[in-house]
Chain A
Amino acid sequence: MKEIYLDNNATTKVDETVFEEMRPYFTELYGNPSSMHFFGGQVQKKVDEARGCVAELLGASPDEVIFTACGTESDNAAIRSSLAVFPDRRHVVTSRVEHPAVLTQCRNLIQQGYRVTEIGVDSAGCLDMTALKAAVDEDTAIVSLMWANNETGVVFPVEEAAAIAKAKGALFHTDAVQAVGKIGIDLAHSAIDMLSLSGHKLHAPKGIGALYLRRGTPFRPFMVGGHQERSRRAGTENTAAIIALGKACELAGQYMEKENTTVKAMRDRLEQSLMVAIPNARINGAGAERIPNTTSVAFEFVEGEAILLLLSELGICASSGSACTSGSLEPSHVLRAMGVPFTCAHGSIRFSLSRFTTDGEIDTVIRELPLIVNRLRQMSPFGRDQL
């Protein structure tokens, strides 16, 4: 069965070009970039080139890019560093809809005696900027807000939020894992101090990420024990993956327009067709600015895991904000923060497209999903009078 992969916010296919680029660095060019000999030196050069490509996509300087193992590490490093460099500041500001990489860490900080403010969102998923302004004070060490939400695709006004943080002397970090490659980023003209990105969300392999650290920003490394990454991230470089990330960022720059035209058009068509074909359905975050590849659709009276497994039977890969898929018993914290009713939250499905998605694949979903929802609704004790 050929898969129809519409779960690109979970992970992406490694681009063939990216894979070819990294391939020699396993069995042929396996030198350590720190070595004095030519054999390691040539790898060092490629790592530097890759750093340049990542910087280019972000509108940053190469020395502002630190390679890490993943987006989660970048998030952890940014927040911990901020607290270490501002020992007198005991307050952290984030949002209720962050990825667990940020949210779990912030909640753990409460146990360590920090004050943590989680800013809420409205029903469209938009950040409460008034609450943000009120929350940030002279005690705030760091404000960490995601650029684009992984579940709904809703975009936060991070520049505006960064300005609010800077006005009180706090650092500003953004988890841009879902935004990079979909939104134009120009950190040279920005108030953002730190930004996290992840390779496997943009067609590079898993196990590679980066942290952008604005030049002059005080920093305390998360990993110590080596001089790599100018002592800001110890540990032998994952050279092949770094080189892959560089290539992936180069390609992401080239495909950004396609993401915002072709991919967006497919996403919009999917949404419109589903809304016409399926009653009692809604788009979570429809009223907000969103990244072009993501849609979160809620169907009343049915449960998300059942939809996902029936889609999976047809080779269609998506994900869900439902509780049952994760083993937890409550639906997604993002949908709950938006006030999506439980009845809808349990039946929410996320489709996330990529530049490899085809119109034919979208046609298949438009054809099959209404049948699946109808089949499950026929089985459900609820909402039968509304079918």
Chain B
Amino acid sequence: MWDYTPIVKDHFLNPRNVGDIPDADAVGEVGSLACGDALKLYLKLDENKQRIVDARFQTFGCASAIASSSALTEMVKGKTLDEALAISNQDIAEFLGGLPEEKMHCSVMGQEALEVAIAKFRGEPVPEHDSEHDHGHAYPDNEGTVVCKCFGITDTFLKKVIETNKLTTVEQVTHFTKAGGACGGCLPRIRELIDEVLGQNTQQPRKRPDKLSNLKKMQMIQDVLEKDIRPLLWADGGDMELIDIDGSRVMVAFRKACAGCAASGNTALMVQQKLREFVAEDIVVEEVAG
């Protein structure tokens, strides 16, 4: 069972501002039935069209999605549009006394709907939904390319969420945006995006040690294969498996797109080069059937 805070429970059991506003000035809609959650946010502005005087929502989703929507409507009331835009998904989560990390995407959905509503009101471009899965598509500043095909999430959107929430792991990005939560094909790309946002490689820079015991060497070889090499192969639909290590001979077998690929000789050389760079200079990589 999820460990929801009393505030989340209260906003789920007694949601504020449920419903629509027939003459709303701004409406923002994100998510879909297929995604498993969706939010339609209605905003009513004052005479000068500056300040939000009423906000209502309709939500399809789990308890935290409903609570996040309810919290959002409470938070924006009385705010100017610019003040409302300053609300981050973190603010929504904090208003609720926190959300389980796996549920942070619910707060992101709220923030997203708010941006869409205001962008549409201001006549700023909001891309049409062109897929059943449309989280992140609705993000107004959308010039990015789709990273997560399952949920239709763009790199622009991911980078923003990574930055705002100071995310450092791929798992966190999935919890916050859903990206990578289905087929997992985009996980290496998400890793790259995190590194881009943080402006550096978040993993400790590797340095080849001077002297190695056999055990340490084997561990390092495995480590480099898992963290540095396999993600590169995945990006091209390939994979590899470590078959054996005998002294400095590293025997590998290529899988999926790499198996039988005419370029696998080059791939083996690439693997060897990496291992020489990070582990030991005398390493020889051999491709074996297995």
Chain A bound to chain B: yes
A residues whose Cβ falls under 8 Å from a Cβ of B: 111, 113, 301-306, 309-310, 313, 322-325, 327-331, 342-343, 346, 378-382
B290 to chain A, nearest CB (A): 7
Asked whether B63 lies within 8 Å of A343 as measured between CB atoms, the reply is no
Within 5-22 of B, Cβ neighbours of A (below 8 Å) are at 12-13, 15, 18
Whether B61 lies near A303 (C-beta < 8 A) is: yes
| A329 and B39 contact, CB distance less than 8 A | no
**Partner of A306 from B33, B66, B174, B182 at Cβ < 8 Å:** B66
A303 to chain B: which residues have CB within 8 Å?
36-37, 60-62, 65
Contact across chains for A329 and B36 when beta carbons are under 8 A apart? yes
SS class of chain A's interface: helix, strand, loop or mixed? Answer: loop
- Point out which of B12, B36, B59 has the most chain A C-beta atoms below 10 A from its C-beta: B36
What's the nearest-Cβ distance from chain A to residue B155, in Å? 19
B241 contacts partner chain A, Cβ-Cβ < 8 Å:
yes
Most-contacted residue by chain B among A301, A322, A331, A346 (CB, 10 A): A346
Please indicate the chain A residues that have their CB under 8 angstroms from the CB of B181 in the complex: 328-330
- As a 0/1 sequence over residues 34 to 77 of chain B, the CB contacts with chain A under 8 angstroms (1 = contact) are 10111110000000000000000011111101100000000000
| Beyond A304-B62, A381-B38, 19 extra complex contacts between A and B, CB < 8 Å | A111-B241, A306-B12, A306-B63, A313-B13, A322-B36, A322-B62, A324-B36, A324-B37, A328-B181, A329-B151, A331-B36, A342-B33, A342-B36, A343-B33, A346-B36, A379-B18, A379-B59, A379-B66, A381-B29
* Contact B59–A381 (Cβ < 8 Å): yes
Neighbouring A residues of B15 by C-beta, 8 Å: 379
B13, B33, B59: the one contacting A346 at CB < 8 Å is: B33
A343 lies within 8 A of B62 (CB): no
CB of A323 within 8 A of CB of B36, answer yes
Contact A380 B59 (CB under 8 A): yes
Which A residues touch B66, using CB under 8 A?
306, 379
Residues of A within 8 A of B58 (CB): 379-381
Q: Is the Cβ of B40 less than 8 Å from the Cβ of A381?
A: yes
Q: Which B residues have a C-beta under 8 Å from some C-beta of A?
A: 12-13, 15, 18, 29, 33-34, 36-40, 58-63, 65-66, 102, 151, 174, 178, 181-182, 241, 290
Cβ contacts A to B, 11 pairs, < 8 Å: A303-B65, A305-B62, A306-B62, A324-B36, A342-B34, A343-B33, A346-B33, A346-B36, A378-B18, A379-B59, A381-B39
Interface contact B290-A113, CB-CB below 8 Å: yes
A25 vs chain B, min Cβ distance (A): 32
Asked whether B18 lies within 8 Å of A301 as measured between CB atoms, the reply is no
Distance (whole angstroms) from the CB of B181 to the closest CB of chain A:
3
A382 touches B60 (CB 8 A): yes
Q: Would B174 and A324 count as touching, CB distance under 8 A? A: no
**6 closest A-B pairs by CB:** A329-B181, A324-B62, A305-B62, A381-B58, A381-B40, A380-B60
Check B63–A309 contact: CB distance below 8 A: yes
Chain B residues whose CB sits within 8 angstroms of the CB of A327 once the complex forms: 102
Q: Which chain B residues border A313 with CB–CB below 8 Å? A: 13
CB distance from B239 to the nearest CB of A (A): 9
Who on chain B is nearest to A113 by CB? B290
B63 and A305: CB pair below 8 A? Answer: yes
Closest to A310 in B: B13
Please give, as numbers and ranges, the residues of chain A lying within 8 Å of B37 by CB-CB distance.
Answer: 303, 324
> For residue B65, which residue of chain A has the nearest CB?
A303
Instruction: Please determine whether B13 and A306 come into contact, CB atoms closer than 8 angstroms.
Output: no
Per the bound structure, the CA–CA distance linking A381 and B178 in Å amounts to 21
B284 to chain A, nearest CB (A): 23
In the assembled complex, the CB of B289 is this many whole angstroms from the nearest CB of chain A, namely 10
B175 to A, closest residue via Cβ: A327
B2 vs chain A, min Cβ distance (A): 8
- Name the CB-closest residue of A to B59: A379
B33's closest neighbor in chain A, by CB?
Answer: A343
Measured CA separation A381–B27 after assembly (Å): 12
Question: Once bound together, how far apart are the Cα atoms of A346 and B58, in whole Å?
Answer: 17
> What are the residues of chain A within 8 A of B65 when measuring CB–CB?
303
Beta-carbon nearest neighbor of A379 in chain B: B18
Q: Closest B-chain residue to A312, C-beta based?
A: B1
A302 to B241, alpha carbons, bound, how many Å? 43
CB-based contact B241/A330 at 8 Å: no
A16–B40 CA distance with the chains assembled, in angstroms: 51
Indicate which residue in A111, A306, A329, A342 contacts B61 across the interface (CB closer than 8 Å): A306
B108 to chain A, nearest CB (A): 13
CB of B288, distance to nearest CB on chain A (Å):
12
Complex: A313 Cα to B4 Cα, angstroms: 14
Q: Smallest CB-CB separation from B102: which chain A residue?
A: A327
Does the CB pair B33–A382 fall under 8 Å? yes
Complex interface: chain B residues within 8 A of A343 (CB): 33-34
Nearest A residue to B4 via CB reads A309
**Cα-based distance from A323 to B12 in the complex (angstroms):** 18
Task: Give Cα A310 to B62, complex, Å.
Answer: 11
Residues of A within 8 A of B182 (CB): 329-330
What is the CA–CA distance of A331 and B33 in the complex, to the nearest angstrom?
Answer: 12
Nearest chain A CB to B66's CB is how many angstroms away? 6
List residues of chain A with CB within 8 A of the CB of B63: 305-306, 309
Chain A residues with CB below 8 A from B38, complex form? 381-382
A303-B36, A329-B181, A330-B182 known; A309 vs B12 contact (CB < 8 Å): yes
Which residues of chain A are near B12, meaning CB under 8 Å? 306, 309
User: Using Cβ atoms and an 8 Å threshold, which residues of chain B touch A329?
Assistant: 36, 151, 174, 178, 181-182
Find chain A residues with CB under 8 A from B178 CB.
Answer: 329
Which residues in A have their C-beta under 8 angstroms from that of B174?
329
Q: B33 touching A301 by the CB < 8 A rule?
A: yes
With A313-B13, A329-B181, A329-B182 already in contact, the answer to whether A381 and B36 are too (CB < 8 A) is no
Least Cβ distance of B161 to chain A in Å?
A: 15
Smallest Cβ-Cβ distance to A378: which chain B residue: B18
Q: Which residues of B contact A381 (CB under 8 A)?
A: 29, 38-40, 58-60
